[in-house]
Amino acid sequence: MRITIDEDRCCAAGQCVLAAPDVFDQRDDDGIVILLDADPGPDQHAAVRDAAAACPAAAIMVEE
Amino acid sequence: MVVVGASAAGVAVVETLRREGFDGPISLIGAELELPYDRPPLSKRMLSGQWTAERTVLRPRATVEGWNTDLRLATRAVRVDAAARRVILDDGDELAYGDLVIATGVRPRLLPGLPQVPGVHVLRTLADAVALRDALTDGPRLVVVGAGFLGAEAAAVACELGADVTLVSDLEAPLADVLGPELAGMLLDEHGRRGVRVETGVRADEVLVADGRASGVRLVDGRILPADEILVAIGAVPETGWLDGSGVPVGNGVFCDATCSAAPGVWAAGDVASWEHPGLGERIRLEHRTNAGEQGMAVARNLLAARAGRPATPFAPVPYVWSDQYDLTIQIYGRPRPGDALRIVEGSTAERSLVALHGRDGRVRAATGINRPRQTRAARALVARAAPWETGSAPEHGEREGVPA
């Protein structure tokens, strides 16, 4: 799995952190997404796909 | 499988169906010409010109093609026969379905008798946004009728583009029914500080026309606001007309049960779906982008569960909406109502950065954040568990939040 983030699209909703808190975080000042792990293990894959699907700004891309 | 509506909710349905292993045929029907695109930017960075239209696509073309669907754009479903399980399209085609997902969204509500003349705008589609953006280039006088999320955002963008903007709010301040008087008052001040005139506590009566184009707005108190361009942003109505006589229950939206099922083999997701929210104990319909994605995912999973003879799961999200106005990012979890108690637990209106809780019936019912995204997300947990109002003050650090349903 390879995760890429489009920071310019990110709207700081934090839905990704709710779905996959081990993979995503938010910056303190503006809430923009921080990618903690661009290639997480299989135990995270379902959560990451949920995060990408739930992102209201379509800012998370997942390649497998 | 037929999914009617190719915006955020319809896309989430298709994407989730494929992700969960459904490999049968799917028809995805979209009324608009473009590949599925995202609507929040239409009143934000698309309207401001920072983004081109291409930037608003929901998924890259290769991803959409990878779903291997029978994608029919610029096509409308005009009728459903729920007993025969068939959808009839405007090009005369008929599609049989095992399951139908209704994700047709909403259309702008119009003022009664609104003239269809140049200078009159609504803002729902990409074409609407392009037309309004093009109309704002020469610093026109713009009257925005309606100061909900859409109207307030468009007013902010137009003001920053140099338009002479008047915002007409039927409440005492923009979004006062959602934010409450204190936070809405801050928003009112912000619009005023930026140079937007806000007419509060008054409705528009009619759009005036001169020489075949819009010339102003008459308010119900008789005053006339001269205008070159007018944006009507007074809410939206569910796109359910095509379901009349279908046997699918329709009222204010498609009436669904708690699992988003409206009839055997019929489901609804997104702005058009009205469902019994099990946590809130009431029927709700949300016109928010995040819900479209979450509900689309939930419907896909419930539909597959029903097919497999497994029980469907009630859909019980914590509603979330955000709004960008000037340099303010406003984020709301839950469903605040007029009359809720309000407690600012971090920051202040003076700092233009805060987290506030909305209380009702002794419980935390909603949380609003302004320019504090991370801290606002922490407050979501208080909303999710309806924390007691008296003790639910600042979010506890390290409190583990639930995953969205």
Its ipTM equals: 0.95
Q: How far is B215 from chain A (nearest CA, A)?
A: 36
Tokens of B18: 């494929």
- The answer, for B331 touching chain A at a CB cutoff of 8 Å, is yes
Domain ranges of chain A: 2-63
- Residue A64's pLDDT is 84
What is the distance, to the nearest Å, from the Cα of residue B294 to the centroid of all Cα atoms in its chain? Answer: 13
Euclidean distance between CA atoms B16 and B104, whole angstroms: 18
| Residues belonging to chain A with any Cβ–Cβ distance to chain B shorter than 8 Å | 11-15, 17-19, 21, 26-28, 30-31, 47, 49-50, 53-58
Instruction: Label residues B17-35 b or e (16+ Cβ within 10 Å = b).
Output: bbbeebeeebbbbbbbebb
Instruction: For residue B191, give the H/E element and its range.
Output: helix B181-194
Q: B290 and B320 in contact (C-beta within 8 Å)?
A: yes
Euclidean distance between CA atoms A52 and A61, whole angstroms: 7
Query: pLDDT band for position B403 (50/70/90)?
Result: very low
Read off the pLDDT of each residue in A45-49 and give the average, rounded to a whole number: 96
Residue B279 φ/ψ, nearest 5 degrees: -75, -40
Question: Looking at the DSSP assignment, which residues form a beta bridge with residue B263?
Answer: B266
Read off the pLDDT of each residue in B9-37 and give the average, rounded to a whole number: 97
Residue B291 confidence (pLDDT) above 60: yes
- Residue B232's pLDDT is 98
Pairing of strands B27-29, B70-72: parallel
Hey, what domains does chain B have and what are their CATH numbers?
A: 2-107+237-307 (3.50.50.60), 110-234 (3.50.50.60), 327-384 (3.30.390.30)
Q: How far is A38 from chain B (nearest CA, A)?
A: 19
Q: B82 and B244 in contact (C-beta within 8 Å)?
A: no
- Residue B390's pLDDT is 87
Euclidean distance between CA atoms B86 and B91, whole angstroms: 14
Cβ neighbours of A33 (radius 10 Å)? 26
Which residues are within 8 A (CB) of B138 and not within 5 positions of it... i.e. 6 or more apart?
Answer: none
With an 8 Å Cβ cutoff, are A54 and B404 in contact?
yes
Residue B134 confidence (pLDDT) above 50: yes
pLDDT tens for each residue of B55-86: 999 999 999 999 999 999 999 999 999 999 99
- The answer, for B294 touching chain A at a CB cutoff of 8 Å, is yes
With an 8 Å Cβ cutoff, are B331 and A12 in contact?
yes
Query: pLDDT band for position B404 (50/70/90)?
Result: very low
Cβ neighbours of B9 (radius 10 Å)? 29
Euclidean distance between CA atoms B321 and A8, whole angstroms: 19
Euclidean distance between CA atoms A37 and A54, whole angstroms: 18
With an 8 Å Cβ cutoff, are B293 and A54 in contact?
yes
Instruction: For residue B95, give the H/E element and its range.
Output: strand B94-96
Residue B401 confidence (pLDDT) above 50: no
Residues of B in contact with A56 (CB under 8 A): 8, 40, 289-290, 293, 320, 322
Q: How far is A19 from chain B (nearest CA, A)?
A: 5
- Residue B405's pLDDT is 33
Residues of B in contact with A27 (CB under 8 A): 374
Residue B95: half-sphere exposure toward Cβ, Cα within 13 Å: 27
Q: How far is B25 from chain A (nearest CA, A)?
A: 21
Residue B295 confidence (pLDDT) above 90: yes
Class of domain A2-63: alpha beta
Tokens of B355: 């987290």
Instruction: Please provide the DSSP assignment of B347-371 as one string.
Output: EETTTTEEEEEEEETTEEEEEEEES
Q: How far is CA B351 from CA B345, B356, B370, in A?
A: 13, 13, 10
Euclidean distance between CA atoms B158 and B165, whole angstroms: 7
- The answer, for B39 touching chain A at a CB cutoff of 8 Å, is no
Q: What is the DSSP letter of B134?
A: H
Q: pLDDT over 70 for what percent of chain B?
A: 97
pLDDT tens for each residue of B304-359: 999 999 999 999 999 999 999 999 999 999 999 999 999 999 999 999 999 999 99
Tokens of B46: 């698309």
With an 8 Å Cβ cutoff, are B297 and A53 in contact?
yes
User: Between chain A and chain B, how many beta carbons pairs sit less than 8 Å apart?
Assistant: 70
- Residue B392's pLDDT is 58
- Residue A22's pLDDT is 97
Nearest CA in chain B to A10: B41
Euclidean distance between CA atoms B38 and B16, whole angstroms: 17
Q: Reduce the DSSP state of residue B87 to 3 states and report it.
A: strand
- Residue B391's pLDDT is 72
Nearest CA in chain B to A58: B58
Tokens of A45: 């894959």
Residue A20: half-sphere exposure toward Cβ, Cα within 13 Å: 28
Q: B48 and B329 in contact (C-beta within 8 Å)?
A: no
Read off the pLDDT of each residue in A28-55 and give the average, rounded to a whole number: 95
For residue B290, give the nearest of A21, A26, A56 by CB distance.
A56
With an 8 Å Cβ cutoff, are A57 and B374 in contact?
no
Read off the pLDDT of each residue in B235-261 and give the average, rounded to a whole number: 97
pLDDT tens for each residue of B182-196: 999 999 999 999 999
